[in-house]
Structure 1
Amino acid sequence: MDLRAGLSQQQSLKLSMTQELSQAIALLQYSAIELVDFLENKALENPLLHIKSRKAEVYQPKAKGQSQKSNDKAWIEQISDQRFTLADHLFPQIQDMKMSPFQKRVVTHYIYHLDDNGYFTGNLQDIANHFNFSLADAEECLAILQRVEPAGIGARTLRECLLLQLNRQEVKNELAERIVSEHFSMFAEKKWKQLSKLLSIDIKEIQQVFDYILTLNPKPGAAFHYERASYVIPDVMVVQEGDQFVVRLFDHILPKIQFNKDYFASLNSYQDKKVNDFLNEKQQDYHWIIRSLEQRQKTILNVTGKIVDKQQAYFEKGPTFLKPMTMKEISEELGIHESTVSRAVREKYVQTPFGTVELKSFFTNAIESVSDESLSSSKVKMAMEKLIKEENKQKPLSDLDIVQLLKENDGIVVSRRTVAKYRDQLGIPSSSKRKRYD
Structure 2
Amino acid sequence: MKQSLQLKLGQQLTMTPQLQQAIRLLQLSTLDLKQEIHEFLESNPLLELDDDEATSADTTSIEAKTDRETNKDSTTNDHESGEEARLESEWTESIPEELSIDSNWDDTYQSSAAVSDSNSFDNDMDFESRNAPAESIQDHLIWQLNLTHMSDRDLEIAYAIVDCVQPDGYLSTTLEDILESLSVDLEELELDEIHAVQHRLQRFDPIGVCSTDLRDCLLVQLEAFQDHPLYKSTQNLISHYLPLLGSRDFVQLSRKTKLKDEALKEVIHLIQQLNPRPGSVIDEDDTDYVIPDVSVKKRNGTWQVELNNDALPPIKINETYSAMASTASTAEDVTYIKNSLQEAKWFMKSLQSRNETLLKVASCIVSRQIDFFELGEEAMKPMVLHDVAEEVGMHESTISRVTTQKYMHTPKGIFELKFFFSSHVNTASGGECSSTAIRAMIKKLVADEPAKKPLSDNKLATILADQGIQVARRTVAKYREAMNIPPSNERKRLI
**2:208 paired residue number:** 152
> Quick one: which amino acid aligns to residue 31 of structure 1?
S
**2:236 paired residue number:** 174
> Quick one: which amino acid aligns to residue 210 of structure 2?
G
Indicate the structure (1 or 2) with the bigger Cα radius of gyration. 2
**2:119 paired residue number:** none
**1:71 paired residue number:** none
Structure 1 residues 101 and 291: CA distance shift in structure 2, 3 A: same
**2:432 paired residue number:** 374
2:321 and 2:337 in contact (8 A); partners too: no
Most deviating of 332-341 and 238-247? 238-247
Q: Deviations over 1:135-184 (max 9, x none)?
A: 9566643332113355313335544422433566533323421345xxx5
The correspondence for 1:320, drawn from 378, 381, 384, is 378
**2:313 paired residue number:** 255
> How far apart, in 1, do the equivalents of 2:172 and 2:319 lie?
57
The correspondence for 2:489, drawn from 424, 432, 437, is 432
Does residue 271 (structure 1) correspond to residue 269 (structure 2)? The answer is no
Gaps of 5+ in 1: 69-77
Q: How high is the TM-score relative to the length of structure 2?
A: 0.68
Structure 1 residues 161 and 375: CA distance shift in structure 2, 3 A: same
Most deviating of 35-44 and 316-325? 316-325
> Quick one: which amino acid aligns to residue 362 of structure 2?
T
**1:411 paired residue number:** 468
1:166 and 1:177 in contact (8 A); partners too: no
Structure 1 residues 109 and 57: CA distance shift in structure 2, 3 A: farther
> Quick one: which amino acid aligns to residue 333 of structure 1?
E
Structure 1 residues 285 and 151: CA distance shift in structure 2, 3 A: same
**2:400 paired residue number:** 342
> How far apart, in 1, do the equivalents of 2:259 and 2:393 lie?
63
> How far apart, in 1, do the equivalents of 2:174 and 2:347 lie?
51
> How far apart, in 2, do the equivalents of 1:428 and 1:257 lie?
47
**1:11 paired residue number:** 9
Q: Deviations over 1:245-282 (max 9, x none)?
A: 33221112311212233334457613234x44433332
- Larger helix percent: 2
Structure 1 residues 272 and 148: CA distance shift in structure 2, 3 A: same
> How far apart, in 2, do the equivalents of 1:349 and 1:56 lie?
26
Percent identity over the alignment is: 31
Indicate the SS of the match to 2:311.
coil
**2:23 paired residue number:** 25
Please report how far the alpha carbon of residue 434 of structure 1 lies from its aligned counterpart in structure 2 after TM superposition. 2.9
Please report how far the alpha carbon of residue 13 of structure 1 lies from its aligned counterpart in structure 2 after TM superposition. 3.1
The correspondence for 2:35, drawn from 33, 37, 45, is 37
Task: Report the aligned-residue RMSD.
Answer: 4.7
> How far apart, in 1, do the equivalents of 2:212 and 2:49 lie?
50
> Quick one: which amino acid aligns to residue 481 of structure 2?
D
Structure 1 residues 337 and 104: CA distance shift in structure 2, 3 A: same
> How far apart, in 1, do the equivalents of 2:288 and 2:258 lie?
45
Structure 1 residues 95 and 391: CA distance shift in structure 2, 3 A: same
Q: Deviations over 1:50-107 (max 9, x none)?
A: 234758999x9999699x9xxxxxxxxx997989x99999789768866325535764
> How far apart, in 2, do the equivalents of 1:174 and 1:141 lie?
25
> How far apart, in 1, do the equivalents of 2:433 and 2:259 lie?
41
1:320 and 1:379 in contact (8 A); partners too: yes
2:207 and 2:221 in contact (8 A); partners too: yes
Q: How high is the TM-score relative to the length of structure 1?
A: 0.75
1:370 and 1:412 in contact (8 A); partners too: yes
Structure 1 residues 97 and 126: CA distance shift in structure 2, 3 A: closer
Aligned residue pair count: 415
Please report how far the alpha carbon of residue 115 of structure 1 lies from its aligned counterpart in structure 2 after TM superposition. 6.8
**2:416 paired residue number:** 358
Structure 1 residues 315 and 433: CA distance shift in structure 2, 3 A: closer
Does residue 300 (structure 1) correspond to residue 334 (structure 2)? The answer is no
2:207 and 2:220 in contact (8 A); partners too: yes
Structure 1 residues 243 and 215: CA distance shift in structure 2, 3 A: closer
Structure 1 residues 169 and 363: CA distance shift in structure 2, 3 A: same
Structure 1 residues 43 and 138: CA distance shift in structure 2, 3 A: farther
Q: Deviations over 1:190-246 (max 9, x none)?
A: 3969x969xx95899998776654342223355565989765432122333434333
> How far apart, in 2, do the equivalents of 1:40 and 1:6 lie?
52
Gaps of 5+ in 2: 77-122
1:107 and 1:144 in contact (8 A); partners too: no
> Quick one: which amino acid aligns to residue 203 of structure 2?
R
What are the within-5 Å matches in structure 2 for residues 147-296 of structure 1? 147-148=203-204, 151-155=207-211, 157-166=213-222, 170=226, 171-172=231-232, 173-180=235-242, 188=246, 190=247, 201=256, 213-220=271-278, 222=280, 232-266=290-324, 269-273=328-332, 275-296=333-354
The correspondence for 1:100, drawn from 151, 155, 161, is 151
**2:442 paired residue number:** 384
> How far apart, in 2, do the equivalents of 1:39 and 1:96 lie?
47
> How far apart, in 2, do the equivalents of 1:322 and 1:143 lie?
54
Q: Deviations over 1:6-52 (max 9, x none)?
A: 54443333333454433322211122221110010111222222234
Indicate the SS of the match to 2:365.
helix
> How far apart, in 2, do the equivalents of 1:329 and 1:338 lie?
9
